[in-house]
C-alpha cells in the first residue's frame, strides 16, 4: 500500500529538528525561507545540503546566485522563523527587515546573531519530488554556542533540555 503524503508528513512531524533560515540574493533581489530539511554532508571538504520546495521564491534565486546561507536560529529568534515561514504575511525582501543581515564570503545574506551561520557556494543541485536538493560547499562559518537552540517538533517550536544522568 503506497504511503500518502499526509501519512508521510505525520511521521516526519515526529522528527525534532533545528530551525534554520536559508537565504540568498541575486541582482539585488533577496529571498529566504525557514527550513528544517538541512544536514551536513561532509567535514572534508565541509559541505551541507538543504531541501527547498521548487515553488519557493528562494529556489530560483539560489540557482541564479549559486550561493546561499544556512542560519541556525537561536531560541530567541522564534519570531524570525515565523517571518521566514510566511506565517506573518511577509514575503521577498520584506522578510529581511527583521534581524541584522550582513555578508561574509559568498555574497549571500547571513544573519548576525544566529547560533551558527554557514555561508555556502552551490556545488550541485538535484531535483527530488517537489523539492530541489542544493549541495553547498561551506566557505565560512560563524558560531555562538552560548545561545540556546530553537527546535521544531510536531508543528511547534521548542527548546532542548538536558536529560539527567
pLDDT tens sequence across 80-118: 999 999 999 988 899 999 999 999 999 999 999 999 999
Query: How high does pLDDT run on average in the chain?
Result: 95
- Residue 25 C-alpha cell reads as 540574493
Q: Strand 156-158 to strand 20-26: parallel, antiparallel, or no bridges (unpaired)?
A: unpaired
Q: Which CATH class is domain 22-145?
A: mainly beta
Q: Using one digit for the tens of pLDDT, what is the confidence trace for 30-47? A: 999 999 999 999 999 999
Integer Cα distance of 9 and 3 in angstroms: 10
| pLDDT for the residue 155 | 87
Q: Cell 503506497: give the residue.
A: 2
Non-local CB neighbours of 62 within 8 Å, separated by 6+ positions: 22, 24, 52, 68, 122, 134
Report whether 72 contacts 116 (CB < 8 A): yes
Integer Cα distance of 129 and 146 in angstroms: 37
pLDDT at residue 9 above 90? no
Residue ranges of the domains in the chain?
22-145
Q: Cell 536559508: give the residue.
A: 22
N-terminal to C-terminal alpha carbon distance within the chain: 42
Amino acid at each position: 500500500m503506497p504511503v500518502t503524503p499526509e501519512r508521510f508528513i505525520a511521521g516526519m512531524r515526529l522528527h525534532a529538528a533545528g530551525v534554520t533560515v536559508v537565504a540568498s540574493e541575486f541582482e539585488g533581489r533577496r529571498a529566504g525561507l525557514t527550513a528544517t530539511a538541512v544536514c551536513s554532508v561532509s567535514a572534508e571538504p565541509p559541505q551541507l545540503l538543504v531541501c527547498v520546495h521548487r515553488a519557493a521564491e528562494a529556489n530560483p534565486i539560489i540557482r541564479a546566485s549559486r550561493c546561499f546561507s544556512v542560519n541556525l536560529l537561536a531560541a530567541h529568534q522564534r519570531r524570525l522563523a515565523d517571518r521566514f515561514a510566511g506565517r506573518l504575511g511577509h514575503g521577498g525582501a520584506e522578510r529581511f527587515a527583521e534581524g541584522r543581515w550582513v555578508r561574509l564570503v559568498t555574497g549571500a545574506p547571513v544573519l548576525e546573531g544566529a547560533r551558527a551561520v554557514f555561508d555556502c557556494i552551490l556545488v550541485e543541485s538535484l531535483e527530488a519530488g517537489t523539492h530541489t536538493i542544493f549541495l553547498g560547499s561551506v566557505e565560512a562559518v560563524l558560531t555562538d554556542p552560548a545561545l540556546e537552540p530553537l527546535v521544531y517538533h510536531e508543528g511547534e517550536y521548542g527548546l532542548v533540555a538536558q536529560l539527567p544522568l
